[in-house]
Structure 1
Amino acid sequence: MQRSRLTVALVGLSLAGVVIAGCSGDDGTRDGAGEDGPITLEYWAWGTTQKPLVDAWNATHPDIQVAHTDAGGGSDSSAKLVTATRADNAPDVALVEYNTLPAMIVAGVASDISAYTADLEAEYAPGVWSQATFDGASYGVPQDAGPQALTYNRARFDELGIEVPTTWAEFADAAEKVRAADPDAYITTFAPAEFGGFAGFAQQAGAEWWSVDGDAWTVDFDDEASVAVADYWQDLIDRDLVLAEPLLTPEWNARLNAGDVLAWPAGLWAAGVINGVAADMAGQWALAPLPQWTEGDSAVAFQGGSAAIVTTSSEHAEAAAEFAAWMATSEEGAAIQIEQGTYPASLAGQELTVGSEPPILMEGQDDYWRIAADIAADTIPEISWGPNVNVASTAFQDAMSAAVTNGAPLSDALAETERAVAADMETSGFTVHVE
């Protein structure tokens, strides 16, 4: 099994004196033995895929029923999980993004479910399985994968005579051509709040924001690669070649529907999001690989992607792990993910995409799933995330938003984020070195 670099991070956390929760429900008596009626599991998860998954499970598993709650996505859900765990009333199962899973382990939210997942490793590519496996222990079942790609309005690209860029240099040239061809249009948006998106661009360029050696951490948000990425987007903003504003606001949605925002470099989940706010554009969009910083280097980072964890509050750990595994590795679960436009993390699910129709937004793009598979195969498998991603995300969003509003350099926001992350870790008792 490939050793996750997050494994090393958790070793460092352990040395800092943080106790990582063990597996709950491992005595065989906490899964409802002797109870009357079916077990009921509580499941927190966001996104359009989750309710269909739960409905399909409930229809075929009368002895284990699941109640689904959308507790918000990403950081919102994770914060609520920590609070609920402290009160010992967290749900049995919860969806957690890969980059926040280390913090969930450290906070005692996620259980070690190795006893229930021993046969699942073969269902995944090593790089995906490692996203939820730390120090030889399994803390979640990977459900979906979100490698970065370029989702673009093919109809508008064709109309304006824009070639799909394969490098970021070509992307900048294409941005110029879009503005020249249609003064109301922009190739894309630089969204200051998109911590995960910028992190992916920086990781693609070679950035490593957290690293650990023994119990000593290094924090480096303003490394050469990250600053170069910030300067790249700064140049496009300064030349009015990209919009600098939040995503998914009413104003942004209106521009998207009008054909004035032509692309979104984001995770493979972007198709489902766009379809949710621009359903009338079905069939107009297409998928392409993310532009490359270095021509010929096709590696990309995850932006999103999530695993279903079993919480330490659950009294039905084995049943919860069974449900988590079914969602991710069953043919029925994978088919639902594909239908909803998410890319399955399991190998069987990815193979199932080959004979599937593309997402509604990409209707007519016969090679959609082949391109998605190629992108997924080139995902960077080893990414280090620190113990306070939530702090980093908030600091990044605040600093980037201020930089855009005040016309300050984006690279300054990286330095400010670094200071906030390092200070928080030092307050928590970590040994921190700032590059």
Structure 2
Amino acid sequence: MLVLAACSGGSDGSGGGSSDDATTGADGTVTLDYWAWGTTQKPLVDAWNAANPDVQVRHTDVGGGGDTASKLVTATRAGNAPDVALVEYQTLPAMIVAGVATDISEYTGEISSDFADGIWNQATFDGVSYGVPQDAGPQALTYNATRLAELGVEVPTTWEEFAEAAEQVKAADPTTYITTFAPGEFGGFAGFAQQAGAQWWSIDGDTWTVDFDGEESRAVAEYWQDLIDRDLVLAEPLLTPEWNAALNEGRILSWPAGMWAAGVLYGVAEGMAGEWAMAPLPQWTSGDAAVGFQGGSAAIVTTSSDDAEAAARFAAWIGSSEEGARIQIEQGQYPASLSGQELTLESDPPLLMPQQTDYWAVAADIAADTIPQITWGPNVNVADSAFQDAMSAAINDGTPLVDALVETERVVLDDMRTSGFTVSND
């Protein structure tokens, strides 16, 4: 990842003195600006401010992960980015390349041992720390336990069993599907492919290799293609009014996704609380429990900040303090820190599955099996958009999903070449 560090610039934490940088009042109080989305952030900021009168934080929600990332680039170029920002793991490399994220290694050394390697590495490149992980989203299977039991279908533990369960569901109730294949779920498909051994980006020195249509990714696409062709999964976008209605009617029975899925489902199907449960994601190879991430974020300090030390202290508190972890758990986030994950074992299950008393124990086992090293490329935003366009076209036109992977790789490579990156695919 040396090319990322070389391209980042501004790693001394000095800023341009803009209105969004850290400011110091007449009484010596430092005020930091923090951009982050989601319901967890305000309680975190309120708790920090109550305990740290000398360093106060102003929180602004500028939109979700994609919106925040694009606005950070624009604000950094204008010299008025916030001091701290929440960034999704997969977009952090682009933030480094764009000169948004700064090196905070000197402030994070003492807390690195509180994170599993697979999670800490999501915010560390070539030994340089660019952020403190806040939450983790390893993939799991959230499923309608009540309906599967009614239909006499066992919870699958492998993807082969999952396909068999899909057949059983459809045979028992032709109006019901075991799950949805959503063409816009770049992160979801990426997780499935990573679980199968795919690496969409890799780097050797300053040379990138891009491999969206490699053997492993093709196998995943062909697996889902088979289920779509046999009408065993519902191929359409998630969380539309129609999808929500089908879910509430018990006609969509699972969601293989990040562990945040329980909170999302509760938001659209509160009346189904007690019917759902969570299990490990089905395995491509029986006995291989490794899973990828679908979501998760880190708090970064920006190159615009005038007080990188105070900003890093706040970022570290969010991700590694007991109080921060308890707030995350209360709000339904799965903490990235090992100590935070241990605290979940003392907590009630999510509202969607209050009956699953072993929920957090299962979650801990899943988190321990996350793939230790995933490399995200410098243009994830381009890949995400290209993937969504190509997959949606494949579903609408009835063309192979594998062709969508080929098209995604073409767009990603063209963009990287135009941006000046060296790629081995040439």
Which TM class, normalised by the smaller chain length? over 0.9
Alignment check: 8 A CA contact 1:339 1:359 kept = no
Q: How well do the aligned residues superpose, as a CA RMSD in angstroms? A: 1.7
Alignment check: 8 A CA contact 2:22 2:83 kept = no
Give the AA of the match of 1:135: D
Q: Post-superposition shift, 1:350?
A: 0.7
| Aligned with residue 163 of structure 1, among 154, 165, 187 | 154
| Aligned with residue 319 of structure 2, among 309, 328, 344 | 328
Distance 1:179 1:147, change over 3 A: same
Distance of 2:324 and 2:68 partners within structure 1: 22
Q: Post-superposition shift, 1:33?
A: 5.6
Q: Post-superposition shift, 1:141?
A: 0.5
| Aligned with residue 301 of structure 1, among 271, 292, 298 | 292
Residue 220, structure 1, aligned to residue 202, structure 2: no
Alignment check: 8 A CA contact 1:399 1:417 kept = yes
The answer for the alignment partner of 2:74 in structure 1 is 83
Which deviates more, 118-127 or 421-430? 118-127
Distance of 2:3 and 2:22 partners within structure 1: 33
The answer for the alignment partner of 1:71 in structure 2 is 62
Distance 1:35 1:207, change over 3 A: same
Q: Post-superposition shift, 1:48?
A: 2.2
The answer for the alignment partner of 2:119 in structure 1 is 128
Q: Post-superposition shift, 1:313?
A: 1.4
The answer for the alignment partner of 1:344 in structure 2 is 335
Q: Post-superposition shift, 1:49?
A: 1.6
Distance of 1:257 and 1:65 partners within structure 2: 43
Q: What do residues 108-137 of structure 1 show as CA deviations (whole Å, max 9, x unaligned)? A: 101111222121112212222121112222
Distance of 1:219 and 1:273 partners within structure 2: 32
Q: Post-superposition shift, 1:66?
A: 2.1
Residue 242, structure 1, aligned to residue 229, structure 2: no
- After superposition, where does 1:93-172 map in structure 2 within 5 Å? 93-172=84-163
Distance of 1:330 and 1:105 partners within structure 2: 25
Distance of 2:291 and 2:206 partners within structure 1: 29
Q: Post-superposition shift, 1:23?
A: 3.1
Distance of 1:385 and 1:82 partners within structure 2: 18
Q: Post-superposition shift, 1:25?
A: 4.8
Distance of 1:219 and 1:182 partners within structure 2: 42
Give the AA of the match of 1:158: A
Alignment check: 8 A CA contact 2:8 2:102 kept = no
Where 1:232 maps in the other structure, the secondary structure is helix
Give the AA of the match of 1:98: Y
Q: Post-superposition shift, 1:63?
A: 2.6
Where 1:143 maps in the other structure, the secondary structure is strand
The answer for the alignment partner of 2:165 in structure 1 is 174
| Aligned with residue 20 of structure 1, among 9, 14, 32 | 9
Distance of 1:386 and 1:22 partners within structure 2: 20
Give the AA of the match of 1:354: L
Distance of 1:40 and 1:22 partners within structure 2: 21
Indicate the percent of aligned positions where both proteins have the same amino acid.
Answer: 73
| Aligned with residue 190 of structure 1, among 151, 165, 181 | 181
Distance 1:36 1:25, change over 3 A: farther
Alignment check: 8 A CA contact 1:340 1:359 kept = no
Residue 311, structure 1, aligned to residue 302, structure 2: yes
Distance of 2:294 and 2:9 partners within structure 1: 26
- After superposition, where does 1:336-415 map in structure 2 within 5 Å? 336-415=327-406
Q: Post-superposition shift, 1:40?
A: 2.5
Where 1:186 maps in the other structure, the secondary structure is coil
| Aligned with residue 243 of structure 2, among 248, 252, 260 | 252
Q: Post-superposition shift, 1:19?
A: 4.3
Gaps of 5+ in 2: 16-20
Where 1:307 maps in the other structure, the secondary structure is strand
Where 1:82 maps in the other structure, the secondary structure is helix
Give the AA of the match of 2:9: I
Where 1:42 maps in the other structure, the secondary structure is strand
Gaps of 5+ in 1: 1-9
Distance 1:309 1:156, change over 3 A: same
Distance of 1:388 and 1:44 partners within structure 2: 21
The answer for the alignment partner of 1:4 in structure 2 is none
Alignment check: 8 A CA contact 1:31 1:318 kept = no
Q: What do residues 307-342 of structure 1 show as CA deviations (whole Å, max 9, x unaligned)? A: 000111122322221211111111111111112221
Q: Post-superposition shift, 1:395?
A: 0.5
Alignment check: 8 A CA contact 1:23 1:113 kept = no
Distance of 2:123 and 2:412 partners within structure 1: 23
Q: Post-superposition shift, 1:434?
A: 2.6
Give the AA of the match of 2:278: L
Distance of 2:204 and 2:93 partners within structure 1: 17
Q: What do residues 24-60 of structure 1 show as CA deviations (whole Å, max 9, x unaligned)? A: 159xxx9656633633222111222222212222233
Give the AA of the match of 1:424: D
Q: Post-superposition shift, 1:208?
A: 1.1
Distance of 1:235 and 1:125 partners within structure 2: 36
